């Protein structure tokens, strides 16, 4: 009997070697990798997401939990690929042109990966054309992050570049970052806004349902 609760609990406590050991054991027992992912790893990461949103845990705890999640994912990834398990969606995220802040962006990526999305990290200081390339590479949702009031306009430029490239109808665009608001997201023509990394997962899920 696979110890899903044990996997989730070890993940929440950031115990990477224990997560790996329990995931290995479940695989050896013949538990389907998709089940280990959703009932163990994603279940644990979802709890961390809720606690983070409620200010019950902070950035370091999320980073440690994400590291533990990766230890489990390293075991599962090849098996998921073999089993042909489809990700929930494909999400590409970058910090916009001129902006080098990446701590929040990385948290969003970890939460999205923990929620079952395939993620593509575009990095920081991302030129508008790179977002277009990501759409052409199959991203269903483009995420843009900005931490500076001076780089917020780069989001608008990136959306205009996506429009001009004729690929806007292929993708949903979500924006976030400390200085942003829903009103700003609406103004620049984004489809969604999320105030924190855990809400980003909810927003992405909603955007895909609307797609």
Under the binding rule (CB under 6 A), the answer on residue 188 touching ligand B1M is: no
CA nearest 117: which of 55, 203, 27?
A: 203
Under the binding rule (CB under 6 A), the answer on residue 59 touching ligand B1M is: yes
* Among 5, 50, 81, 178, contact with ligand B1M (rule: CB under 6 A): 178
Judged by beta carbon, residue 76 or residue 201, the one nearer ligand B1M is 201
Q: How many residues bind ligand B1M (CB under 6 A)?
A: 29
Do the Cβ atoms of 19 and 72 come closer than 8 Å?
Answer: yes
Under the binding rule (CB under 6 A), the answer on residue 191 touching ligand B1M is: no
Q: Chain centroid to CA 177: how far?
A: 14
Q: String of b and e for 104-143 (b: at least 16 CB within 10 Å)?
A: bbbbbbbbbbbbbbbbbebebbbbbebbbebbeeebbbbb
* Cα–Cα dist 71/79, whole Å: 14
* Residue written as token pair 């990966």: 113
Q: Which stretch binds ligand B1M (CB under 6 A): 18-26, 66-74, 114-122, 177-185?
A: 177-185
Sites for ligand B1M among residues 85-104 (CB under 6 A): 93, 98-104
* Among 105, 156, 168, 172, contact with ligand B1M (rule: CB under 6 A): 105
Under the binding rule (CB under 6 A), the answer on residue 174 touching ligand B1M is: yes
Find residue 13's DSSP bridge partners. none
Chain positions contacting ligand B1M, by CB under 6 A: 59, 93, 98-105, 107-108, 143-145, 147-150, 174-179, 194, 196-197, 200
């Amino acid at each position: 009997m696979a110890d899903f609760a044990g996997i989730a609990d070890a993940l929440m406590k950031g115990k990477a070697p224990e997560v790996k050991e329990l995931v290995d054991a479940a695989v050896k027992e013949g538990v389907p990798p998709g089940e280990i992912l959703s009932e163990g790893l994603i279940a644990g990461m979802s709890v961390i997401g809720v606690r983070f949103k409620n200010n019950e845990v902070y950035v370091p705890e999320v980073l440690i939990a994400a590291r533990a999640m990766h230890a489990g994912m390293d075991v599962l990834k090849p098996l998921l690929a073999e089993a042909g398990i489809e990700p929930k969606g494909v999400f590409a995220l970058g910090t916009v042109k001129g902006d080098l802040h990446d701590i929040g962006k990385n948290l969003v990526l970890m939460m999205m990966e923990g929620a079952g999305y395939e993620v593509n990290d575009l990095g920081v200081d991302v030129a508008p054309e790179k977002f277009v390339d990501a759409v052409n590479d199959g991203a269903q949702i483009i995420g843009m992050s900005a931490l500076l009031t001076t780089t917020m306009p780069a989001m608008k430029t990136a959306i205009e570049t996506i429009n001009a490239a004729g690929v806007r109808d292929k993708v949903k665009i979500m924006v976030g970052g400390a200085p942003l608001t829903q009103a700003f997201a609406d103004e620049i023509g984004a489809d969604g806004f999320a105030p924190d990394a855990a809400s980003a997962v909810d927003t992405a899920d909603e955007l895909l349902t609307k797609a």
